[in-house]
Amino acid sequence: MNATLLSPPDAPAAADAPVVAASDSLAPAPAGVSVPHTVPLEEIADYMSHLLKHREIGDYPGAHNGLQMENRTGTVTRIAAAVDSHERVLQRTASTGADLLLVHHGMLWSAGGPCTGAAFRKARTCLDANLAVFSSHLPLDAHDQLGNNALLARAIGLPSPQPFFVEKGTPIGRRAEVDWSLDELLDRLGIALGGEPLIVHASGPGDTLEESIAATRVRRIGIITGGAGNSLREVAAEGIDTFVTGEGRHDSFGTAVELGVTLLYGGHYATETFGVKALAEHVAERFGLPWEFVDVPSGL
């Protein structure tokens, strides 16, 4: 990942990034003990919010893009990335020693309620582990280089993917023109997602699904990572004949049949692992920190 390419115009270059001393003590670390590189949490959070255009890009009220949970020290030595921020993710992350977790689905979708039950336990897990949480929802779907959609499009080799499907004022999906068999698309998706997608409907003629798959061509493909199956009508109205998304409601099958659109569900989780990994990799490289992906698949 090229850090220069991703640098916003007024962001400091990596080499200029101020680095806080790892310890308040002036005494050198004992021989053989490595002092972790430490970066102010606020500096990393501001950098990511700027990079992802959090101020400019609209989102749902519960998204709360940006820093959702501070940590006690206000510093970062190790980054983790995950798709979600439910209790199991936070517990796994706490065991990694990370002090900053980057997620796509934040902790505050139901914010405003009492800090009891799971909400309290999650806050306690973060505080006990000195774990900050930063979330980016639609901005991380839409980003040209780090976004879920751009990266899934790249992973399956879409030629010249273009932004499409405006959500809260920003086109988040990617579309492209190809001339592939459906089998070829399924192969590409299987490799990119680590498993073949669910074939909800193949639009080619045939008495069985197998016959329809064999008879289906893919020409105008649209990708929207996550849960956009219920937006099939809007997607079809944009001329898409093959729609790849994460998941959707039961009635999306009937809608796909009636519209004659091939509909594939690659999994909400599987289609949205790309952005957080890319963001963590980029930020870790820029600030000289280690990172890891905390994989807690939902199976959906």
Question: Contact residues for Zn ion (CB under 5 A)?
Answer: 226
Say if CB 141 and CB 148 are below 8 A apart.
yes
User: What is the rounded distance in angstroms from the CA atom of residue 153 to the CA atom of residue 145?
Assistant: 11
Q: Other CB atoms closer than 10 Å to residue 262's CB: what's the count?
A: 25
User: What is the rounded distance in angstroms from the CA atom of residue 102 to the CA atom of residue 66?
Assistant: 10
Taking the complex as a whole, the smallest distance from the CB of residue 137 to Zn ion amounts, in Å, to 7
> Coil, helix or strand for 153?
helix
- Closer residue to Zn ion (CB): 161 or 275: 275
- Closer residue to Zn ion (CB): 226 or 267: 226
Taking the complex as a whole, the smallest distance from the CB of residue 232 to Zn ion amounts, in Å, to 17
Q: Which helix H or strand E contains 221, and what residues bound it?
A: strand 217-224
- Closer residue to Zn ion (CB): 161 or 226: 226
- Closer residue to Zn ion (CB): 60 or 120: 60
Cα distances from 26 to residues 41, 173, 275, 285, in angstroms, run: 22, 51, 39, 27
- Closer residue to Zn ion (CB): 226 or 266: 226
Q: Which residue is nearest to Zn ion (CB)?
A: 226
Q: How far is CA 50 from the centre of its chain?
A: 17
Taking the complex as a whole, the smallest distance from the CB of residue 61 to Zn ion amounts, in Å, to 15
Taking the complex as a whole, the smallest distance from the CB of residue 273 to Zn ion amounts, in Å, to 11
Taking the complex as a whole, the smallest distance from the CB of residue 246 to Zn ion amounts, in Å, to 7
Closest listed residue to residue 199, CA positions, set 207, 190, 152: 190
